[in-house]
Amino acid sequence: MKNKIKLIFFIIFLLLFSQNVYAKENTPSVYAKSAILIDLDSGRTLFEKNSKEELPIASTTKIMTAILAIESGKLDETVTVSKNAQAAPEVKMHLKEGEEYILKDLLYPLMLESSNDAAVAIAEHIGGSVEGFAELMNKKAKELGALNTKFVTPNGLDKDNNHSTAYDLAIITKYALQNETFVDYITTKEMDIYTKDKKRKFTFYNKNRFLNEYEGAFGVKTGFTNLAGHCFVGACERDGVSLLS
């Protein structure tokens, strides 16, 4: 009974955090179009609402971008910024065409502040182009069983029906959380990075309030676009129970 009470409280908190639900008589009433809560250890679904509905997912797309970059074996390689990456819309770190960065450093603006230009630079370096990287994203999604997902961009901006489902995002994130390097990135609260020539310095702060406002939280990613609205993927461990929303 004690664990059930903790679980109910955790569900309510996660959904209130994304400003999509309210609690009434200890039962969450979900405003979100789609939601899911799973046990990370067993993978069992504890709560769901329209969890397989295909929807735009904004910057939660970057979960896949990050794990592919980490698994690429290219983290120590030099990324040269293209004109296309420089032109990415806000939110961005204002990369300049021709600048050089170490790939592993670009994952900090990607996951801490959701930089769209960093996402494009990463995608182009690994996939040869945004389109080439999207193919890698979709291949990985299918391998993981995220069958109702279509990635078109590495940053999740509203373009050409880039979409997933709450269920698929849970599958992708559960996989990513098994990687210690991925967890290190999403739990970092502040980081400085430099251009390779040390001429420019950037300081990034993790914009995910969940890390500071809930004991045991470790990210994962927020997102917003006009089409997607507010999106949130969060995970937490408390008293030996690990949950993913």
| Beta carbons within 8 Å of 64's beta carbon, 6+ residues apart | 137, 140, 141, 151, 172, 176
The token pair at 218 is 């470790």
CA 218 to mean position of chain CA atoms: 12
| Beta carbons within 8 Å of 199's beta carbon, 6+ residues apart | none
The answer to whether 59 touches 114, Cβ cutoff 8 Å, is yes
| Beta carbons within 8 Å of 180's beta carbon, 6+ residues apart | none
Label residue 134 exposed, middle or buried (CB < 10 Å: 0-12, 13-18, 19+): buried
How far is the C-alpha of 3 from the C-alpha of 192, rounded, in Å? 40
Say whether the peptide bond before residue 91 is cis (omega within 30 degrees of 0): yes
Assign 3-class secondary structure to 8-24. HHHHHHHHHHCCCEEEE
Active-site annotation, residues: 59, 62, 114
How far is the C-alpha of 182 from the C-alpha of 142, rounded, in Å? 20
